[in-house]
């Protein structure tokens, strides 16, 4: 059969389209098979803070239970520093195959972007939010030998002894740091801020008396409060945590609107397969409904976890906007170096 030049071009075009369609079908089937069989090897979970802090504690609770459900090890990889942004950057630059996840944290996804800082990743586009694990207040805690053991006396002491009170934080730009900055702004006083690389080192130095006060996540501070090694002065949600019904909030102590909380979730790189996202989300929600898991999280003040990926995504955006408003209204300037 002889084809005209026009017919030949048309035939070539149709054959090309067919080849592309077949290729897309094969790729789709391969991707489906990959998602269906996931995970068939260990999964790495980056945590942006050292062992011993609240982020690490919550990550390990979830990792242990997911390992049991999946029959594959979920390996914690602690990459502390830069208020959690080092770990976030590693997640953002990982292949979107589900084998690299990150502990989503208020610092890296809300506070640092709200501060307008230049980052190596885009908090809006470089991640796939999967599920919220919990929200926890910070607690203003003191060394047992601190000169003031309530907020009123602390403010008076700082005003009478400028520069002699030291506050530790989990790092410049962390929620603990901003809680401190907000306190200084609202109280009209100043102290010495000492940034660390995570909650663990802060608590070690606080208990040793190298620093005197700190705002710390409830999850990190609770074991040391229970052991009597640090003293709680106030909590930083506008409502009292169920774990600390007798501890006043900063708002109740006269600092109206004072709210500085931490939250934790799971995230993956951008373009993570929706089927993998849904599986992780469903499995984590199943874990969060277990009474024994709820009890463990309640011990460290982590509340209100769970929900859909879409709900978590909206939560992050709302939280980031609230932090941006706080930074603007309080005229906070934070040096992340």
Summarised one tens digit per residue, pLDDT across range 211-237 is 999 999 887 898 899 999 999 999 999
Residue 138 to residue 259: CA distance in whole angstroms: 9
Find where tokens 């011993």 sit. 52
Fill in the DSSP letter of residue 257: T
For residue 11, the model assigns a pLDDT of: 62
In this predicted structure, the answer to whether residue 23 has a pLDDT above a threshold of 90 is no
How many residues are given for the chain?
A: 337
For residue 15, the model assigns a pLDDT of: 57
Percentage of the chain lying above the pLDDT 70 cut: 89
Residues 97 and 112 sit within 8 Å (Cβ to Cβ): no
Fill in the DSSP letter of residue 290: S
In this predicted structure, the answer to whether residue 300 has a pLDDT above a threshold of 80 is no
Residues 219 and 54 sit within 8 Å (Cβ to Cβ): yes
Residue 144 to residue 166: CA distance in whole angstroms: 14
**pLDDT, tens digit, for every residue of 134-161?**
998 999 999 999 999 999 999 999 999 9
Structure tokens at 287: 């874990």
| Per-residue pLDDT band at 268 (split at 50, 70, 90) | very high
For residue 128, the model assigns a pLDDT of: 98
Structure tokens at 13: 């075009």
Rounded to the nearest 10 degrees, how much is the dihedral formed by the CA atoms of 313, 319, 325, 331? -120
Q: What pairing do the DSSP bridges indicate for beta strands 213-217 and 166-169?
A: parallel
Q: What pairing do the DSSP bridges indicate for beta strands 230-235 and 127-143?
A: antiparallel
**pLDDT, tens digit, for every residue of 315-335?**
999 989 988 887 887 777 777
For residue 34, the model assigns a pLDDT of: 58
In this predicted structure, the answer to whether residue 191 has a pLDDT above a threshold of 90 is yes
In this predicted structure, the answer to whether residue 3 has a pLDDT above a threshold of 50 is no
Residue 131 to residue 266: CA distance in whole angstroms: 5
For residue 199, the model assigns a pLDDT of: 86
For residue 156, the model assigns a pLDDT of: 97
Can you give the C-alpha Rg of the chain in angstroms? 24
> For residue 15, what are the CA distances in angstroms to 10, 11, 21, 29?
9, 6, 10, 21
**pLDDT, tens digit, for every residue of 79-102?**
988 878 999 999 999 999 999 999
For residue 83, the model assigns a pLDDT of: 79
Could you tell me the pTM of the whole model? 0.77
For residue 31, the model assigns a pLDDT of: 47
For residue 25, the model assigns a pLDDT of: 46
> DSSP alpha helices (H): ranges in 38-147?
54-70, 85-92, 106, 112-114
In this predicted structure, the answer to whether residue 166 has a pLDDT above a threshold of 80 is yes
pLDDT average, residue stretch 34-61 = 89
Fill in the DSSP letter of residue 39: -
């Amino acid at each position: 059969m002889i084809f005209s030049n026009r017919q030949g071009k048309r035939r070539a075009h149709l054959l090309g389209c067919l080849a592309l369609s077949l290729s897309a079908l094969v790729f789709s089937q391969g991707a489906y098979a990959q998602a269906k069989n996931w995970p068939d090897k260990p999964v790495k979970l980056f945590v942006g803070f050292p062992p011993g802090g609240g982020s690490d504690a919550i990550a390990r609770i979830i990792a242990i239970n997911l390992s049991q459900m999946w029959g594959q090890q979920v390996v914690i990889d602690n990459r502390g520093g830069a208020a959690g942004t080092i770990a976030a950057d590693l997640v953002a630059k990982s292949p979107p195959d589900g084998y690299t996840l990150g502990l989503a944290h208020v610092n890296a996804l809300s506070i640092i972007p709200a501060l307008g800082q230049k980052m190596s990743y885009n908090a809006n586009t470089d991640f796939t939010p999967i599920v919220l694990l919990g929200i926890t207040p910070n607690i203003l805690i003191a060394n047992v030998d601190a000169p003031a053991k309530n907020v009123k006396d602390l403010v008076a002491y700082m005003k009478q002894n400028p520069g002699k009170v030291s506050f530790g934080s989990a790092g410049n730009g962390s929620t603990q740091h901003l809680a401190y900055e907000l306190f200084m702004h609202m109280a009209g006083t100043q102290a010495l801020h000492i940034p660390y690389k995570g909650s663990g080192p802060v608590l070690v130095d606080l208990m040793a008396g190298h620093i005197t006060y700190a705002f710390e996540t409830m999850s990190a501070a609770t074991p040391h409060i229970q052991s009597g090694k640090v003293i709680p002065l106030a909590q930083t949600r506008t409502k009292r945590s169920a774990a600390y019904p007798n501890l006043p909030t900063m708002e109740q102590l006269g600092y109206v609107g004072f709210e500085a909380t931490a939250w934790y979730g799971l995230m993956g790189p951008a373009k993570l397969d929706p089927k993998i996202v849904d599986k992780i989300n469903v499995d984590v929600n199943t874990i969060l409904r277990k009474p024994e898991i709820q009890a463990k999280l309640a011990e460290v003040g982590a509340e209100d976890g769970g929900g859909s990926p879409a709900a978590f995504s909206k939560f992050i955006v709302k939280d980031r906007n609230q932090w941006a408003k706080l930074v603007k209204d309080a005229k906070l300037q934070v040096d992340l170096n």
